[in-house]
Chain A
Amino acid sequence: MTHSPTSLRWSLILLIAGLIAAGLHSRGTIEPRFSIANPIDAHEKEIVQPLFSPIELPRPEISAHASSMAFLPDGTLLVSWFGGSREGADDIAIWMARVKDGRTQDSWIALTCKQLEGLTHRVIRTLGNPVVWIDTKGDVRLHVVSVSYGGWAGSSINQLRSEDGGKSWSEAQRLILSPFFNLSTLVRNQVVAMEDGTIGLPAYHEFLHKWGIWVRFTTEGRVLQCERMPSDIGQLLQPAVIATSATDALAVLRNTNSSQPVIGRSATKDGGQSWSLMAPLEIPNPNSSACMIRLRDGSVLIAANPLANGRNILQLFRSRDGGTSWEASRIIERGEKGSEFSYPSFAQSAEGMIYLSYTWQRKGIRLCAFNAAWLDAGGNDNAAMESAP
């Protein structure tokens, strides 16, 4: 192979320029650490009277699913979900509602397929799970699943920012997380804040095989890291992650393995840089999404469907030792076989009230609020939503 020395010299200069440019762009980051508030004494700081109240949300569409919640800077709760004629239809849109003082203030269509097409400059056939969160500037951030062609296995994650509380969106960006046509990455559960201002997003992959992934990115949307969560009990997805210390975090995952139908578990001890195998929980899981939150008193709460088959019971489970042992807590919904109370989502207000939203019979999103005292009070075997006033 022959070539002139001059052209080779210029090529090498160009290569050095490229290596420098790439090296500067990929500058290393500091060791990731979770941002975690110290637990407070619940009885000193929170309302001690047990409180539980359902909150009415609008049902503007025939079908609704997969809610997500976050608190706006003024304390208003922002609830989002996807709704339309049916899951996977091209009329599916992301809906949002604002809830303040236990009442729904308003609701609106926050994002349609056509809007996302215009924002991402590519065809969008349908929308899926939204995850809404608020950044340090108070802007609403939305991570939403979209499908251009095929089913959910062909889906991708889009990230958007809104400076007006979710009414309109600036230009969107697609998260590229897979080398094979970026196929099949989805989100379901809430983000986790890191000490350095970056964000951890629990996501999952479900093309051919299913596994949880941990994505860490800057608030500008630049991905810094994407790690897999291992499994030895089958294919796990839809991780929900809570930090238990600056370096440790726990993930619980939906389990698709019908021969061992229990909630999967993974953990990290290095700020999410690597995730290890952990024995699954003893809480049954009928291939259904679970959510998890660390309460202000330091205890951890899971909402899940604790059945080997069916999603007709939605129950809370609580751990007071950072997720090692779990006790059954209050039942939120119980219905006949075939009923569905699924895809729960948590948020906790600055005052300590815990909000739980979930899919109700695929027809709407239900929302309820309760405090730690209501959990502590225990109670009978009745479903809370049935016996609520």
Chain B
Amino acid sequence: MNAHAIYGLVAQGVIVAMVIRFVREIFGRKCLARFGMELWIPATIVLLVPIVEVSIAGHLRGLWGDPSIVTFLLLVLYTVRPSSLPSRPRFSTCVLVSLFVMVPLYLPLFVANSFFQVDTYSLGWQPNWILVALAVIVVVSIALRAITPQWINIIAVALIAYGAGLMESENLWDYLVDPGLLLTIAYLAFEGMSARFRSHTLIAESNNEKPKGAKI
């Protein structure tokens, strides 16, 4: 078994561990408390026990492939020590990532080829420009105090993993983002927008409300 397969199978185990922790948080700790070593026992079972000759991890790998290194690290942190998770990205960061990464990366797949010749994904094969852009974004974000050291560490580990060729993909994008991560970021952006809309509506309503005894 090569490093690609080991990473892919372990990543599926981490996804399962994350799902179990998520379920526990929703339904309370008693629900899955009997699993002793917490989440890693079921995750290991998922990794190893074959169902119809292939482990569940093998089925999951066939279904959605391997997550990006960034997603993998976030899932590990969430599962092992949620307190060590980096702070949630700002609303504006989520909107920017959604607009400038998600749209050009995935839109060409869903619209007719002749209408959309720009293929942002292909930049990831010889990604020197992405590396330069990433360095600039991180420096600017530090100057604006918009990024924490944890996020820088996660990006750095993803780059080191790319340098080591840890994943099957040779495209840098696949180390940094994946559909699951980007959908989560898009959800956070949407949630941020709806929260702002709600707060604006509440302010507007409270302004319109006549306070008792107030003079007009």
Interface residues of A (CB under 8 A from B): 1-3, 7-8, 10-12, 14-15, 17-26, 28-29, 114, 117, 120-125, 148-149, 171, 173-174, 176, 178-182, 205, 207-211, 222-228, 230-232, 235
Contact = CB atoms under 8 A, between A and B. Distances in A.
Given A121-B5, A179-B121, A230-B113, A148 B152 contact: no
Given A14-B156, A15-B155, A122-B58, A179 B173 contact: yes
B153 A209 contact: no
Given A176-B174, A225-B126, A1 B105 contact: no
Interface in B116-134: 117, 119, 121-122, 125-128, 131, 134
Given A11-B152, A15-B155, A176-B174, A230 B163 contact: no
Contacts of B162: 21-22, 25-26
B170 A29 contact: no
B63 to A, nearest CB: 6
Given A231-B113, A232-B114, A122 B54 contact: yes
A226 B124 CA distance: 10
A228 B58 contact: no
22 contacts: A1-B145, A1-B147, A15-B155, A17-B156, A18-B156, A18-B160, A21-B164, A22-B159, A25-B162, A25-B165, A121-B1, A122-B58, A171-B2, A179-B173, A179-B177, A179-B179, A182-B65, A209-B111, A209-B112, A223-B170, A223-B171, A231-B113
B16 to A, nearest CB: 15
A383 B4 CA distance: 50
B8 interface: yes
A122 B8 contact: yes
A351 B199 CA distance: 79
A228 B113 contact: yes
B157 interface: yes
Contacts of A2: 145
Question: What is the predominant secondary structure among interface residues of chain B facing chain A?
Answer: helix
A180 B109 contact: yes
A388 to B, nearest CB: 42
A254 B61 CA distance: 31
Contacts of A174: 168
B72 to A, nearest CB: 15
Interface of B: 1-2, 4-5, 8-9, 53-54, 58-59, 61-65, 87, 105-106, 109-114, 117, 119, 121-122, 125-128, 131, 134-135, 138, 142, 145-150, 152-153, 155-160, 162-165, 167-174, 177, 179
Contact of B172 (A26, A121, A180, A182): A26
A18 B158 contact: yes
Nearest to A5: B149
Nearest to A26: B127
A232 B135 CA distance: 38
A230 B131 contact: no
Given A25-B162, A207-B109, A223-B170, A117 B125 contact: no
Contacts of A149: 62-63
